[in-house]
Structure formats: structure tokens, C-alpha cells
Amino acid sequence: MKVLITGGAGFIGSHLAERLLELNHEVFIIDNLWTGSLANIEGIQDDNRLHLVVDTILNESVMNELVFKVDHVYHLAAAVGVKKIMDHPVETLDINVKGTEAVLRLANRFKKKVLIASTSEVYGRHLNGKVSEDDNRIMGSVKKRRWAYACSKTLDEFLALAYHDEKKLPVVISRLFNTVGPRQTGQYGMVLPTFVQSALLGKSIAVYGDGTQSRSFIHVRDAVEAIIALMAEPQADGDVFNVGNDHEITINELAQRVKDMTGSDSTIEHVPYEKAYGPGFEDMERRCPNIEKINNLIGFKPVYDLEAMIQSVIDYFKE
């Protein structure tokens, strides 16, 4: 089978490309390298079944040719990372909304199945337990730039479901929760690689806010297995699925766990959000998925526990 991965040189996209090649697919990647990197696909670049196009998904003539020749499209290209979103709000909205619209329009032209990589951010400020796919979303003020990303990805979901309902386009939406593992960079505000790098270098581990906010982490290899299985399941078409791990941990606890596992003498320092991201930032107090739906459909259960996830990131940066 021939597959296209938009954003395929990114953190998740590169792991997805590796796995699809292992499954003997022919893989086409398009990536403008804004947040992706050629280093991420260094291990597979000599595979003659891999085809790389360095360009934007907004280049319609290039995308038209790519979508035409493949069977499935994994749409992962997006502006990601809290810092990137806070520093570049126009680009965030542009690539996330216009890019997804372009992918869906071309996929519909040739009736190619699409998996849209969405995000747990769409749930907003939920505080009560594990969030399920049909829960209401709770967003902050439009003056708080933090919510631009969540709203852009929400619009992507609405658009994808509209294409499915109106145009009968086979589409499945995966809401990815905090995904971690080798090759993830802390450059754009991703918390685990930032903590690990600081700990290994003996620098203070910066926890934004009071650290009582909680998150749930899934290893990138678990996430990749889930989205490949969703793409292969016809009953997933026209639906939304949480892709995550339902083990929850506070950021304070995560910082201490990283410190312990690295044997670091680093101090844990609390930093006000405003100092890190400037004005217009609000954080989410909780983010934990209910994964019953995806488990019931494809039998998905995460393999990696938190300790294994942290260790894989430590090993990566040590190497």
C-alpha cells in the first residue's frame, strides 16, 4: 500500500513512517521542516520505498500529485508546541486550518481515506475526571492566545466530519494526548524532554505555574500503533477517538520522577507562566483520556508505562 504522511519528518510522523516501512508500505512524506527535521528520518532515508518532498502542504500542485498516487493519507502536519503557538499565532492558525482544508479537499477529489491527527487540547479546561470523545469542550477567552491552537484543531475536526457526512469521504480523527519518546525536542515547550535535558545537564528543572496541573503521557510507539489500527478499521470512519494513556501524574511529580531516574542534583524551580510565555497564556489543570472507546473498537491498550516512557527519553538524550 502507498501512504502519504504530512509532517512526516516531525516527531510522531517519523516514527509513523518507520513503522509503516516495517509493515512493507511505500511511504511518501511531505514536510516543510518548520518543526520537523531531516535528522528524524536519518535512519530510513536510504530505504527505496521512502519518498521525501520538502514543501508545504499549502502547495496545491505538489499535494495534488501526492494524494493522487497514494491509498491513504495520514495528516499530521501542524503547528505544534506551546511556545511555537504563543510566538507565532498567525502561522498556527494558517497551517492548521488552511492546511487541513487543503488535505481534505484533495483527498475528497480522489476519495482517499484520511486520518486527521487532532489533539487533547480541544477539550479545553475540563476538570472532572477522564475526558470522553463526546464531552463538551470548555474554552477560554479569545483574548487568551493559548486557545488559538485548540480552536484551530476543533475546526479541523468539524471540517473532517463535514466531509465525511456530506461528501462520504472516509475520515477518522485521532485525538492525541501528550505523546513522548525518542526524537521529541523540548524546543517548543514539550515538558518531558525539557525536564530530562535539564536534569542530565545539572540545570534547574523549570516547572511552570505551581506544578499541580496534571497530564497523561503516551509513548509515541503506542500512539503510532493506535493510529495505524484506526486507519485500517472501516468502523472507525466518521468518528473520533482518544489516543492516550489513562495514567495521570502532576507536573511536580513528573519533575521529581525525572530527577530520581537520572540521579540528577538539579533543583526544581517554579516559574510563572507569564515569564515563560508572556501575556495571554492560560493552562489546563487536567488532561486525562477515557480510552474505552478505542479499546472496544480495536483492542488498544498502551504498552509503555510512565517509567518506560521516561527511560526511553533519558536513553535518547544520553546517546
Chain-centroid distance, C-alpha 303: 18
pLDDT for position 90: 82
pLDDT tens series, the chain, 319 aa: 999 999 999 999 999 999 999 999 999 999 999 889 999 999 999 999 999 999 999 999 999 999 999 999 999 998 776 666 777 778 778 888 999 999 999 999 999 999 999 999 999 887 678 999 999 988 888 877 778 888 889 999 999 999 999 999 999 999 999 999 999 987 766 899 999 999 999 999 999 999 999 999 999 999 999 999 999 999 999 999 999 999 999 999 999 999 999 999 999 999 987 776 766 667 788 899 999 999 999 999 999 999 999 999 999 999 8
User: What is each CA distance from 209 to 214, 234, 250, 269, in whole angstroms?
Assistant: 12, 43, 12, 10
Contact 52, 45 (CB under 8 A): yes
8 Å CB contact between 247 and 218: no
Q: Which of 283, 12, 24 is nearest to 147 (CA)?
A: 283
Q: Is the CB of residue 307 less than 8 Å from the CB of residue 247?
A: no
Angle between helices 220-232 and 11-22 (to 10 degrees): 60
**pLDDT recorded at residue 240:** 98
C-alpha–C-alpha distance, residues 217 and 1, integer Å: 31
Non-local (6+) Cβ contacts of 94 within 8 A are: none
Exposure of 264 in the CB half-sphere (CA atoms within 13 A): 23
**Residue 263, burial from CB neighbour count under 10 angstroms (0-12, 13-18, 19+):** exposed
pTM score, whole prediction = 0.94
- Residues designated as active site: 149
CA angle (315 as vertex; 310, 319 as ends), nearest 5? 150
**Following DSSP, what letter does each residue of 254-266 receive, concatenated?**
HHHHHHHHHT--P
Tell me how crowded residue 33 is: count the other CB atoms within 10 A of its CB.
14
Architecture of domain 2-181+218-246+289-303: 3-Layer(aba) Sandwich (3.40)
3-state secondary structure the chain: CEEEEECCCCHHHHHHHHHHHHCCCEEEEEECCCCCCHHHHCCCCCCCCEEEEECCCCCHHHHHHHHHHCCEEEECCCCCCHHHHHHCHHHHHHHHHHHHHHHHHHHHHHCCEEEEEEEHHHHECCCCCCECCCCCCECCCCCCCCHHHHHHHHHHHHHHHHHHHHHCCCEEEEEECEEECCCCCCCCCCHHHHHHHHHHHCCCEEEECCCCCEEEEEEHHHHHHHHHHHHHCHHHCCEEEEECCCCEEEHHHHHHHHHHHHCCCCCEEEECHHHHHCCCCCCCCCCCECCHHHHHHHCCCCCCCHHHHHHHHHHHHHC
